[in-house]
Amino acid sequence: MSSAHFAAGHGLPAKIPLLARRVATAILFSTLAACGGGSSGSFPTVAQPPAAQPAAPLYTVGGSVSGLTGTLVLQNNGGDDLAVESDGGIRFATPLASGASYLVTVKSAPAKPKQSCTVNNASGTVNGAAVDNVSVVCSDVHASICPRVLDAATTYTGGAASGEYVKVKFDPLVKKYEMTFVESSVPISAGQVNDTRAGATITGDYEYAAGTAPALPSACALVLKNGKTADGTYNVTINPQAPPTLFVSDGLVVGGIPGATIQYNGLELAPGLVIATVPSRTFDSYPFIGFSQTVTDFTQVAGTYNELGFRMNPEGTLSQSVNGSTMIGWEPNAIQASQTFNADGSCTPDTSQYSCVSTGAPWTRRNNPGGTPDNVFVSSVVAANLTYPVVGVNVIQLAITSNHAHGIMIVGKVGNQLIPVIIRVGDAHMDAGNILNNTLDSQAGISLLAPATKVAQTALTGGYIGATSASVCGVVTSPGQSSFPTVVNGQTIYPAAGACLDASASRDAGVNSGAMLFQPGSAALLNPFTSAVSSGLELDFTQPRPGLVDVAASKDFISGSTPIFKAGDTGVMVKIGPVYGLLMNGVNKQFTTYDPPNNLSKVNPFFSIGTFVE
């Protein structure tokens, strides 16, 4: 301290004459010198501070942003705000030491235009190097499900759980729709399977749904009233108690398309040997999703995905009976698989069940009948005497003549997000007069693919609307474990399977719509026309398999008086752009021992798909 300060602290006036201050200072230093303790009269030795240790190295956290069209603000560990205004590399200003944790979140998403941003590889621990793999993907969302303009010239390309490849468009001026069943194995009439609605185009009227909840503008919920071909040879039957309803959004349409009544007595190949028997079922509608824009460059599709899907076997399988001797029919099966697609359309399998099997790779661009290129992909051609891959156990396939079962992949583009959907188109051709002219490969269904990257909790917020498998398979019955063993992947199991017989489908809009409201860590299934809660889900974002959010039901999901799934049932959820996919009870555990009272399998898969509302 200065001599003036020292003086002030010891009773000396701070402002004394300059000479007096100098005298006081001299006396002070003389006194200090006398206290040094050494005979030399020098100042005492002053201890030196220890040498400064080198600072621990620090590392930055960063990555990339894509799809951004506005201003985005990110945070790391709840602070260190980072404003981003364009695609490219990002890096937070505050570095972290090795061993420190990081958590990147979205503080504020772009508002003009409104976007939703998902952080992939959002959390982890710094490990002696800079973090460079945080990936933020943004896509456009809208204040409501309604498109800004419903253009009569817009064609939506999509697929249905019936295994149909469909194109549809709407004319709002006259409230009519036009729907083409480009690929289909759905028969145009009951009692036969050879004549299908493949290639048929129907037109019909639609009306806007009445009594919609405030979050769902009625002008975007289109209720189909009728439909027939121009020559009148094919008419769809509409159940006024459960009409197919399509929810139209910017860039996509989701909901239900007209159903059908299907029944076939089967083909007797030899006395007492009958195949392809299909019990009568009337479907009011089939779940459907379609896109106004699609991608046909497979190099853009290449990547690793989680596949969630639902399929039906019309004839059923031997796993449906206790002794493995009979087939009940209409057996549901689920897909939960990992798929890695390469730029050339091929698939690289991993150890997960159905990896690269259920999809039918390699994929190539489909051609229309006239040879012009289509806007979807088609699976590899199946040889005349071979069958197309199926899911499930003990599925009967017969390919004596040409087999036309195949896959269609529609890659929708909504904003900057690609959304792949796969359809399995079945094939059944029966000829009682020529045993060599028969094919049975009729499994049909739909799958949604989402990137195998972690889903941030903030990515699943707000309201969604869509469709569920309950409209084709609601209440599932099963006799339990079968005593008839079968071999799967070299292992003998005693399987179990369910059946969705006539009148088992739901006609409840609160069950069939796929409407869901997400809140942090949970979701509620809703009736979109009343906002009444149908069921509840708890969400776990740990994601041991990146991109698969674990789900547990907190409330029974009821159709009539019977639960479609129960509280405590589990499943997984995926998110891709504005679309979610949910699969409950998708993994049907099979057992290597026969013990029906204790070996209980989940034979009632439930699949839901929906798009963001607000």
Structure tokens at 557: 């999901």
Structure tokens at 594: 């026969």
**pTM, two decimal places:** 0.78
In this predicted structure, the answer to whether residue 38 has a pLDDT above a threshold of 70 is: no
Q: Which 3-state string (H, E, C) describes 417-464?
A: EEEEEEEEECEEECCCCCCCCCEEECCEEEEEEEECCCCCHHHCCEEE
Tens of pLDDT, residue by residue over 354-369, are 888 877 779 999 999 9
Report domain extents, the chain: 58-140, 155-612
pLDDT band at 161; cut points 50, 70, 90: very high
Structure tokens at 323: 């002794």
Tell me which residue has tokens 């769809």.
236
Tens of pLDDT, residue by residue over 273-305, are 899 999 999 999 999 999 999 999 999 999 999
Tell me which residue has tokens 């150890």.
351
Instruction: Assign 387 to helix, strand or coil.
Output: coil
Average pLDDT, the chain: 87
Residues 106-122 have a mean pLDDT of 85
| φ/ψ of residue 186, rounded to 5 | -80, 120
Tell me which residue has tokens 């789900």.
551
Structure confidence at residue 53 (pLDDT): 67
Identify residue 218 by its one-letter amino acid code: S
362 upstream amide cis, omega within 30 of 0: yes
Strand order through the sheet with 61-66: 88-91, 61-66, 131-140, 115-120
pLDDT band at 211; cut points 50, 70, 90: low
- Highest average pLDDT, of 10-14, 350-354, 500-504, comes from 500-504
Structure tokens at 195: 């004549």
Q: Is residue 77 within 8 Å of residue 123, measured between CB atoms? A: no
Structure confidence at residue 50 (pLDDT): 66
Structure confidence at residue 44 (pLDDT): 52
Structure confidence at residue 51 (pLDDT): 64
Element (H, E) at 146: none
Question: Rounded CA gap, 90 and 120, in Å?
Answer: 13
| φ/ψ of residue 219, rounded to 5 | -70, -10
Q: Is residue 206 within 8 Å of residue 225, measured between CB atoms? A: yes
Q: Is residue 609 within 8 Å of residue 580, measured between CB atoms? A: yes
What is the residue-wise DSSP string for 337-360? EEEEE-TTS-B---SSTTTTTTT-
pLDDT band at 4; cut points 50, 70, 90: very low
Tell me which residue has tokens 């949910």.
582
For the chain, helix (H) and strand (E) counts, in that order, are 3, 45
State the distance between the two ends of the chain, measured CA to CA, in whole angstroms: 66
What is the residue-wise DSSP string for 20-79? HHHHHHHHHHHHHHHTS-STT-PPPPPPPPPPPPPPPPEE-EEEEEES--S-EEEEETTE
**Other C-beta atoms lying within 10 Å of the C-beta of residue 205:** 14
β-bridge partners, 91? 62
Tens of pLDDT, residue by residue over 535-556, are 999 999 999 999 999 999 999 9
In this predicted structure, the answer to whether residue 39 has a pLDDT above a threshold of 60 is: no
In this predicted structure, the answer to whether residue 26 has a pLDDT above a threshold of 50 is: no
